[in-house]
């Protein structure tokens, strides 16, 4: 049974990588880009539905074992421990948003060093970003399906943190900051290197969190915490969809 699931998971990853590589050929604001993004969105939604059905024990569902306890773990509660456990993820988000906002201020004939501009300029980066975006949606659905039994709602500042992520997703509507933007530079290679470093840092934080015995939230626990209240779920999903629409469609 476990071997079959691993084979199925590996096949899905392979198909997702091949799909993202093919879709990356289309420039956004074209009908093929919009159509393939909608298909990508639909694929993630189908995975989410299959996981929800599995949690409820319905047919044609994929059941995942629920976690034993929610985060923050017993003994790590309270405002300060929660903030400390989320601080690595908050730091990554703040640094990425600061870079993206500052990178809007570039010369007239140069690429912005924002993630949206660079992903359109470099096809492999476009494919990688689409894969990451789809992966976040799948991990979110997995996090929801693995909520502790009898606890559909997690405690903690989920809605407030999700609202912060929604502001992150809408960062391209912020005004350009001309003076400090010089800190970002104008070299495309530097911009690509920065955006490759962001997920690399996230992986390092994930590894550290898994070895922290609950002191630091894993990415799955972060998503589960954000989506505890209904308002948090709505804001988090809206932010994710809006980010995908901007990056790959509009």
Using pLDDT thresholds of 50, 70 and 90, give the confidence band for residue 74. low
Task: Check whether 8 has a pLDDT greater than 50.
Answer: yes
Share of residues in the chain with pLDDT > 70 (%): 72
Q: Residues 29, 21: contact at Cβ < 8 Å? A: no
The residue ranking higher by pLDDT, 190 or 40, is 40
- For the chain, the structural domain boundaries read 2-248
What's the pLDDT score for residue 179? 43
Q: Which residues of 112-147 are buried (b: 16+ CB within 10 A; e: fewer)?
A: bbbbbbbbbebeebbbbbbbebbebbbebbbbbbbb
DSSP H or E stretch at residue 239: helix 230-248
Give the global pTM.
0.76
Distance CA 226, CA 231 (A): 9
Place of tokens 């400090």: 180
pLDDT-derived band at 173, boundaries 50, 70, 90: very low
Task: State residue 142's pLDDT score.
Answer: 86
Q: What is the pLDDT of residues 182-226, one digit of tens each?
A: 445 567 788 888 888 999 999 999 999 999 888 888 998 888 887
Work out the average pLDDT over 91-118. Answer: 74
- pLDDT tens figures, 58-68: 677 677 777 77
């Amino acid at each position: 049974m476990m071997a079959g699931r691993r084979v199925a998971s590996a096949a899905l990853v392979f198909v997702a990588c091949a799909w993202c590589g093919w879709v990356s050929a289309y420039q956004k604001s074209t009908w093929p880009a919009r159509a393939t993004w909608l298909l990508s969105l639909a694929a993630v939604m189908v995975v989410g539905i299959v996981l929800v059905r599995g949690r409820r024990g319905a047919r044609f569902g994929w059941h995942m074992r629920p976690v034993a306890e929610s985060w923050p773990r017993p003994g790590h509660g309270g405002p300060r421990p929660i903030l400390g456990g989320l601080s690595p993820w908050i730091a990554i988000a703040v640094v990425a948003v600061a870079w993206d906002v500052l990178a809007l201020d570039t010369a007239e004939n140069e690429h912005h060093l924002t993630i949206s501009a660079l992903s359109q300029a470099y096809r492999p980066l476009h494919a990688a970003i689409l894969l990451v975006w789809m992966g976040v949606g799948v991990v979110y659905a997995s996090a929801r399906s693995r909520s502790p039994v009898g606890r559909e709602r997690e405690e903690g500042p989920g809605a407030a943190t999700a609202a912060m992520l929604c502001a992150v997703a809408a960062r391209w509507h912020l005004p350009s900051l001309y003076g400090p933007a010089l800190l970002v530079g104008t070299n495309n290679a530097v911009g690509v290197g920065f955006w490759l470093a962001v997920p690399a840092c996230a992986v390092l934080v994930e590894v550290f969190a898994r070895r922290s015995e609950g002191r630091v939230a894993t990415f799955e626990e972060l998503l589960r915490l954000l989506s505890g209240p209904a308002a948090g779920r709505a804001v988090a999903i809206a932010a994710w969809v809006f980010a995908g629409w901007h990056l790959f469609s509009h």
